[in-house]
Amino acid sequence: MYAEMITRVNKLEDEINKYNLNISKVKWYELLASIAYWYKRGNKDESLIIKIIKDTKPQFSEKEIKSAYNAYLDFKFYV
């Protein structure tokens, strides 16, 4: 069970290449964590999360945020 979860979490890194992003793994996980934080607090609308992240973490592009949002949803509904 835990091995599957670790494998799934590690596959989140593959999404960086899938979406052709120029972002470090550390920044990618920071972005995913931010999206998870806001999502779990009831902000489930993609456009709202994009706005929140752009306002609070302007270092991330809209493409990066959208890609991370989609990756988070895929991960969230898989586990």
How does residue 78 score in pLDDT terms, banded at 50, 70 and 90? low
Residue 22: other Cβ atoms inside 10 A = 9
How does residue 76 score in pLDDT terms, banded at 50, 70 and 90? confident
pTM, 2 dp: 0.88
Give pLDDT, residue 1. 72
The helix or strand, by DSSP H or E, that contains position 30, with its residue range, turns out to be helix 25-40
More confidently predicted of 18 and 1: 18
Q: What share of the chain is helix, strand, coil (3-state, %, to 5)?
A: 75, 0, 25
